[in-house]
Structure 1
Amino acid sequence: MDWQGITTAMQIYKIFRAPEWADLRAKGETPGAPVDVADGFVHFSTIEQAPETAAKHFADEDGLMLVAIEVDRLGDDLKWEESRGGALFPHLYRNLRLSDVAWAQPLPLVGGAHQFPAGLA
Structure 2
Amino acid sequence: MTIFEKVADWLDVAGLTAGYKIQLVQWIEQKADTDAMKYIVVQPDGGTPRYRCLGAYDYVLVNIISAKNDPEPAIATAQAIMDYVTNNADDDVLNFIANAGGFPTPIPTEEGRTVIRLRFEIIS
TM tier, smaller: under 0.3
Give the structure, 1 or 2, with the largest relative contact order (CA under 8 Å, sep 6 or more). 1
More helix by share: 1
TM-score, normalised to structure 2's length?
0.27
TM-score, normalised to structure 1's length?
0.27
